[in-house]
Amino acid sequence: MAAESCQALEEAGTNAFRLASGSEGWVERLGGDVLISYKSEAALEELLSGLTRQGEKIGWMPGRIFTRFLPLKNAERIPAVLHSGDASLPLTWVVTEAGVCYEIDMAAGYSHGLFLDQRLNRAKLRALQPRRVLNTFAYTCSFSVVAALAGAETLSVDLSRKSLDRGRRNLRRNALDESGHRFLAEDALELLPRLDAVNERFDAIILDPPTFSRGANGRRWQVEDHFEDLLNAALEVAMPSCAILLSTNCKALDPGALERRARACAKGKRRAATYLQLGLPVDFPPGHGSSTLWMMLR
Please provide the DSSP assignment of 211-239 as one string.
SEEE-TT--EEEHHHHHHHHHHHHHTTEE
pLDDT at residue 213, as a whole number: 72
- Helix, strand, or coil here: 91? coil
Q: Are residues 55 and 183 in the same domain?
A: no
Residue after which a domain boundary falls, among 61, 76, 105: 105
Predicted confidence (pLDDT) at residue 215 exceeds the cutoff of 70: no
- Helix, strand, or coil here: 104? strand
pLDDT at residue 225, as a whole number: 87
The beta-strand segments (E) located in 149-281 are: 153-157, 181-184, 202-207, 212-214, 220-222, 238-248, 273-276
CATH number at residue 286: 3.40.50.150
Q: Are residues 207 and 236 in the same domain?
A: yes
pLDDT at residue 2, as a whole number: 79
Q: Are residues 218 and 156 in the same domain?
A: yes
Report percent pLDDT > 70 for the chain.
98
Q: How far is Cα 118 from Cα 65, in angstroms, rounded to an integer?
A: 23
Q: Are residues 96 and 124 in the same domain?
A: no
Q: How far is Cα 280 from Cα 258, in angstroms, rounded to an integer?
A: 15
Q: How far is CA 152 from CA 132, 177, 229, in A?
A: 5, 12, 26
Q: Are residues 100 and 139 in the same domain?
A: no
Long-range contacts of 155-160 (CB under 8 A, 24+ apart): 155/181, 155/182, 155/183, 155/184, 155/200, 155/202, 156/181, 156/182, 156/183, 156/184, 157/184, 157/186, 157/188, 157/191, 158/185, 159/185, 159/186, 159/187, 159/213, 159/215, 159/216, 160/185
Q: Are residues 146 and 283 in the same domain?
A: yes
Question: Residues 100, 149: contact at Cβ < 8 Å?
Answer: yes
Residue 111 within any structural domain of the chain: no
Residue after which a domain boundary falls, among 46, 80, 105: 105
* Number of domains comprising the chain: 2
Q: Are residues 239 and 167 in the same domain?
A: yes
Overall average pLDDT of the 243-267 stretch: 96
pLDDT tens digits for 40-64?
A: 999 999 999 999 998 888 889 999 9
Structure letter (DSSP) for residue 74 = G
Predicted confidence (pLDDT) at residue 1 exceeds the cutoff of 90: no
Overall average pLDDT of the 110-135 stretch: 98
Beta-ladder partners of 25: 22, 38
Question: Residues 101, 173: contact at Cβ < 8 Å?
Answer: yes
Residue 110 within any structural domain of the chain: no
pLDDT tens digits for 141-153?
A: 999 999 999 999 9
Q: Are residues 169 and 292 in the same domain?
A: yes
Predicted confidence (pLDDT) at residue 216 exceeds the cutoff of 90: no
CATH number at residue 79: 3.30.750
**Whole-prediction pTM:** 0.95
Q: Are residues 256 and 166 in the same domain?
A: yes
The kind and range of the H/E element at 30 are strand 25-30
Q: Are residues 156 and 39 in the same domain?
A: no
Where in the sequence is the domain holding 41, given as residue range(s)? 3-105
Predicted confidence (pLDDT) at residue 245 exceeds the cutoff of 90: yes
pLDDT tens digits for 155-196?
A: 999 999 999 999 999 999 999 999 999 999 999 999 999 999
Report percent pLDDT > 90 for the chain.
87
Residue after which a domain boundary falls, among 105, 134, 149: 105
